[in-house]
Amino acid sequence: MRSAALLLVVLGLTPALTTPAAAADQQWIQPLLDREIVGDVLPLAEVQKFCEERVPVMKSYPSADAWQAEADRLRAAVLEKIVFRGQAAAWRDAATKVEWLDAIAGGPGYRIKKFRYEALPGLWIPGLLYEPEKLAGKVPAILNVNGHSPEGKAYVPKQMRCINQAKRGMLAMNVEWLGMGQLRAAGYTHYTMNQIDLCGASGLAPFYLCMKRALDILTSLENADPERIAVTGLSGGGWQTITISSLDTRVKLSTPVAGYSSFRTRARYVSDLGDSEQTPNDLATLVDYTHLTAMMAPRPTLLVKNAKDNCCFASPHALPPLLEAAAPIFKLFGREEALRWHVNDDPGTHNYEIDNRQAFYRMLRDFFYAGQEFDAKEIPSEGEVKTAEQLEIPIPADNETFNTLARALSESLPRGGELPADKQAAAAWQQEKREDLKRIVHAKDYTVYAIGSKPEAKDAVTAVSWRLQMGGEWTVPAVEFTPKDATSTVILVADGGRKSAAANTAKLLDAGCRVLAIDPFYFGESKISQRDFLYALLVAGVGERPLGLQASQVAAVARWAEGKYAQGPVALVALGPRSCTYALVAAALEPKAIGKLEVHNPLGSLKEIIEQNGSVNEKPELFCFGLLESFDIRQMAALVAPRTLMVAGPSERAKAELSALSDWYRLVGGTVEIGP
C-alpha cells in the first residue's frame, strides 16, 4: 500500500501545494473555466423535457365503472405510497382531537366559535366555525382553506365568504394553514417539510392531515349534512381543495381557485411550479393533477382560474389540460353539467374576490339548494370583518413543527448503521448497502457521448472543453486540463461550480494530474436558470432524485475517463459540503472507475441539515427521500473502502465521524487520511 505521504502528493494535499498556484497559471486557467460550454438555455430545456416525459398521461376509459375502479385504485395508492409513507402511517391512525373554546359575536344571524385541533400528535391547528344562530335539521357545511396569505384565517376575502356562508344558513369552517397566520414561523416554512422526507416519512402528511382532521370535525357536527360537504380555497388553498376533494369522497362539491395545474403544464410554465407540498416525492409516478381532477367525477366541481393571474395557474394555459382530462370522465357518468369552470377577468389577477366568490355561491345554489330560493349575490358584510387579534386562538408554546418532527424522527437514524466487525462480513455488508443506496437515490447507469472543442495549450498544459451527453437526457459541461506526461486523472467538482475551482485545478496540475472540472446537475453552468430549486422538487416529484442524478453523472464521467485515458481508476475531488455528499454517493456506487476520493469541508452528518433547520430551496439534493433512514455520512464513507478516503478542512464533527472509520478501513484494507 502507498504511504500516506505519497497519497497526499497525488491528491494535492501536501503543505507545499496548499499555497496559491502561480498567478500566471490561474490567469490562463480561470477564463477557460469561465467559458460557456452549454449556456443557460440547455439545462432548463433538459430538465423540462426530463420531467415532462415522466408525467403519467390521462387515458381513456370505456365506462364509468372502469374509471371508478381505476380512481379507487389510484386514491388508495396515493394515500398509501405518497401521503402516508413511513412514520406518517402512524400519524394517520391517531385519533382526531378537538378542543372547543370561546365564541365571539359575528354579525347579524351568526356567531364565530373558536377551536383548535390536532392534525397529528402534538401539532395543533387553530380554527373558526361560523355558525348560524338558528340551526334546524341538516345544512351544508363548507371547509374553507387558506392559501399563501400571511394573514391566514384573517384574510379578508376568506372572512367574507365564510360570513356569507353563515348568513345563508351554512356551517362555515375556517382553518389556519401551516406557515400562515398564527402558524407563520420558521418551523412551518413549507420548504422545511422536506426534513421529514429525509428521514423516510412523508412531509406531505402534516398538510394532508390538517385537512382530513378538519373534515373529520366538520362532518361530525350535529347539523352538518353529509351529502352537502364542500371545500374551497385560493392558491395554496386551491391546491388543498383539489387534494382533499379528490382523495376523500366525503367531499361532495369542490371549488379550487387558482390553485394548481398539470405537472406537464408546470414543466413548461415556470410560474406554476409549486412548493414542496404541491410537488411531493413520487406523486407523478402515480397521478398527475389531471387525474386528481378527473377523480372528482361525478361530484360537482368548479374550476376557477384568473385570466391575467400575476402569480400562477393563469387560465389560458392552466385550465384547458384539466378540462380535457376530466370532461370525458364526467361524460361517462352522464354528469357533464357537474364539471364547470369560471374565468375571472375583473380584476383577473390572483384573487378570490367578489366575482369568484359569487361563482362559488352559484355552484352551491345549483347543487346544494336546487329547487330552493337562493340568491347568489354576495351579501355586503365588510363591517363584520374581524382583526387577526380578534380571531386569535391560543396554541401550545411547544407546538410541533416540521423541524421538531424531523428532529424526533432522526434521533434513531440511520437504522442498522453499525459496521460489521470482520472482513468477510464487511464485504457482504458493502454489497448489500451499495444496492440499498442505489435504490434510495435512484441511481442511473449513464453512458457518455463526448463532444470536444479544439485543444488549446500553454506551458505544456493542453485544455479541451467537453459536452458530455448522457443517456439522451443530460449534457454535463467539463473542462479538461492535461499536463505533459500526466499519469493520473482527477475529476473535480465544487459547490461553486467549476468556475470557483481555478486554484485547486492549478494545484492538481502542479502535482502532474490531468484535471476534469465538471458541473453536474444543478451546479455551476448546469444550474437551472429559472426557479431552479422548484425544478429540483419536480425531478423528485416525477420519481427521480437530484442527488442520484448528480452522483450518476459523476460516476458516468469516471467510467468514461477511465476508458478514454487508460491509466486506471480516476480520483474524485469534491469542494464543499454539497458536492462532497454527491461525491460520496458516486464513489460508493462506482467502486471500479473511482479509485480515490478526496472531500473538502464535508458534512459530518446529514442530521446537521435538520439541526440547522435547513430548507429544500437552499440545498435540494440533500433532502433525498429516506436517505437518512438507512445512511448517514459515515455509512456512505464506509462504502468507499478499501479505496483511500482523504478529508480536508473538516469541521470537528466531520473529523470525529470520519476519523472513527480509520480502524474499519484498516480492517478492509483501506486508509482514511484527515488533513488540515
Residue of 662, 628, 663, 632 whose CA lies nearest to 645: 662
pLDDT at 212 over 80: yes
Q: Which pLDDT score is estimated for 445?
A: 97
| Bond into 347 cis (ω within 30) | yes
Q: What is the residue whose three cell numbers read 407546538?
A: 399
Q: Which pLDDT score is estimated for 2?
A: 33
Cell of 225: 349534512
Neighbouring CB atoms inside 10 A of 394's CB total 12
The predicted-structure confidence for 607-645, as pLDDT tens digits, reads as follows: 999 999 999 999 999 999 999 999 999 999 999 999 999
Task: Give the amino acid at 517.
Answer: A
Cell of 421: 466487525
Q: Which pLDDT score is estimated for 676?
A: 86
What CATH code would you report for 4-34+442-674?
3.40.50.1820
Of 11-15, 159-163, 223-227, 389-393, the one with minimum mean pLDDT is 11-15
Average pLDDT of the chain?
Answer: 95
pLDDT at 10 over 70: no
pTM of the predicted model as reported, rounded to 2 decimal places:
0.95
Local structure of residue 134 (DSSP, 8 states):
S
pLDDT at 9 over 70: no
Mean pLDDT of 447-470: 96
Mean pLDDT of 587-602: 98
Q: Which pLDDT score is estimated for 504?
A: 96
Phi, psi for residue 540 in degrees, rounded to 5: -70, -35
Q: Which pLDDT score is estimated for 524?
A: 98
461 close to 513: Cβ distance less than 8 angstroms: no
Note whether 4-34+442-674 and 71-396 share their fold: yes
Of 21-30, 131-140, 355-364, the one with minimum mean pLDDT is 21-30
357 close to 157: Cβ distance less than 8 angstroms: yes
Cell of 359: 361563482
**Does CATH place domain 71-396 in 1.10.3720.10?**
no
Neighbouring CB atoms inside 10 A of 368's CB total 22
Give the residues across from 596 on adjacent strands. Answer: 571, 644
pLDDT category at 303 given cuts 50, 70, 90 is very high
Name the CA dihedral angle for 131, 134, 137, 139, rounded to a multiple of 10 degrees. -40
pLDDT category at 22 given cuts 50, 70, 90 is very low
Cell of 609: 441539515
Cell of 413: 437514524
Q: Give CA–CA dist 534/532, Å, rounded.
A: 5
Percent of the chain with pLDDT over 90: 95
Of 1-5, 46-50, 316-320, the one with minimum mean pLDDT is 1-5
351-361: string of b/e by CB count within 10 Å (b at 16+)?
bbbbbbbbbbb
Mean pLDDT of 310-314: 97
Q: Which pLDDT score is estimated for 417?
A: 81
Domain boundaries, the chain: 4-34+442-674, 71-396
The predicted-structure confidence for 519-554, as pLDDT tens digits, reads as follows: 999 999 999 999 999 999 999 999 999 999 999 999
pLDDT category at 436 given cuts 50, 70, 90 is very high
The predicted-structure confidence for 42-68, as pLDDT tens digits, reads as follows: 999 999 999 999 999 999 999 999 999
133 close to 111: Cβ distance less than 8 angstroms: yes
Q: Give CA–CA dist 203/164, Å, rounded.
A: 34
Q: Give CA–CA dist 412/421, Å, rounded.
A: 21
Q: Which pLDDT score is estimated for 480?
A: 98
